[in-house]
Structure 1
Amino acid sequence: MLGHGNSQQQAILDVNLAAAKQIARELRLRDIGGIIVVDFIDMTDEANKRLVYEEVKKAIERDKSMVKVSELSRHGLMEITRKRVRPSVTFMISEPCACCHATGRVEALETSFSKIEQQICRLLATRDRKADPEKPKSWPKFILRVDHHMCEYLTSGKKTRLATLSSSLKVWILLKVARGFTRGAFEIKSFTDDKVEKKQHQVAISMLRSSEARTKKPGQNLTLVQGEKLGSQGGRAEAILRI
């Protein structure tokens, strides 16, 4: 590797010249763009610094991209500016995340829950016929479709958030798990079903049975399953869940 001599300065020069060629090659092969700072081994001889600079300039001549090279500083640093000519390899072999939209973060469940509550409030505000808070049979009914993360968030705990939401807004909520939904996605629609009015202060949760999941075909409706009561207090809504 020393090649041309045994002196320390000559050895350093040989290493830096070899690095200059390899750096230019790596920048081209990896299509690295932006500002690149190269830390060469310190050299005291200005002539040797010039040789390394010229070697880098010669090595980048094969690069089709626009490249600018600065001379070495007194600390052995060289600044190279290069324009990327094609998307990065990671970009070409991947696609944006459907959940986080390529941000690396997803919306907190508490935030999604607030959006659901706001959406229900907006739908209630557009209704011509106002419900009687003292008559649960008159409460509006909605189908709420969410992903499985939100379903677990709404139905977990002794006092579920779904039951609290239903009781506070005086509405019936039929919760469905939409298996194609990404985290944070939801859909709310008005719903009419006399079966709901048979039992007061209840929140019905519908999910697909595991046996149906294996045989269900696209386009078929999910089965509304009513199961055991998870708990109720006074006039609060009860959550009904069966998987």
Structure 2
Amino acid sequence: MGHGSDDGAARRTFAVGETVALGGFQVLSTTQEAFAHELFAALAAGQPRRVLFANTNFVVQCQPLRERLRRLPALRIVNDGIGMDLAAQWLQGRRFASNLNGTDLVPWLCAHSPQPLRFFLLGGQPGVAEAAAIALRERHGQAVVGTCDGYAGRARAGEALVERINASDANVLLVAFGNPLQEQWILEHADRLHVPLVLGVGALLDFLSGTARRAPDRVRRWRLEWLYRLWHEPRRLSRRYSWDLLVFFRICWRHRRG
């Protein structure tokens, strides 16, 4: 009887490693552990990876970038948030293997990497990247080889900043501009960046620096972190979790045939 229950659960979930067409994007169904091991293997082999976390806001804001992202080498788009699961369940009758986000994945990479990683942090208000760097060094035991705040990062000549990042010998670049600015930046500089692992991480630097607070563990387990954030930032997030959510489901319906 237990096997039957397991088989039923498996049929309701996309397999680890399966690619799911959702909202016009190809989204990888995976778990945090499996995905981390893929990234570690790619780092060890010197293979590039560009990682984006697709939540409902990503799907809405990055629609104009779909074709360019499709052509980006070594791209991995993974699912982030309950909205992606709801859309997948609605349209394809299955949910993703797990939920991933940069805020959880990056500390997991730090804790399980075979050797310390070398981070370059790009984004946030002035002072945020520097404070996040202290957290990565002191709490997570990693090396931070460079930082640049989001204002300077977007205003500074792209070539000069890319040269600075490449010269830092970072093997992980965190780009924290939010959607769709971080995806645009990664696309614009993809050909010149030598950093093997680049992640678009949204608000991660704010969380690492203590500028923003994460929801309590219990709220995250219930997958209600979005509600916690909306409660604390209603003016900034109310549209994202109301009108934009309707737009998201309309986009997913329009692209339902993949």
With normalisation by structure 1, the TM-score equals 0.21
> Larger Cα Rg: Structure 1 or Structure 2?
1
With normalisation by structure 2, the TM-score equals 0.20
Report which structure shows greater RCO (CA 8 Å, sep ≥6). Answer: 2
- Greater fraction helix: 2
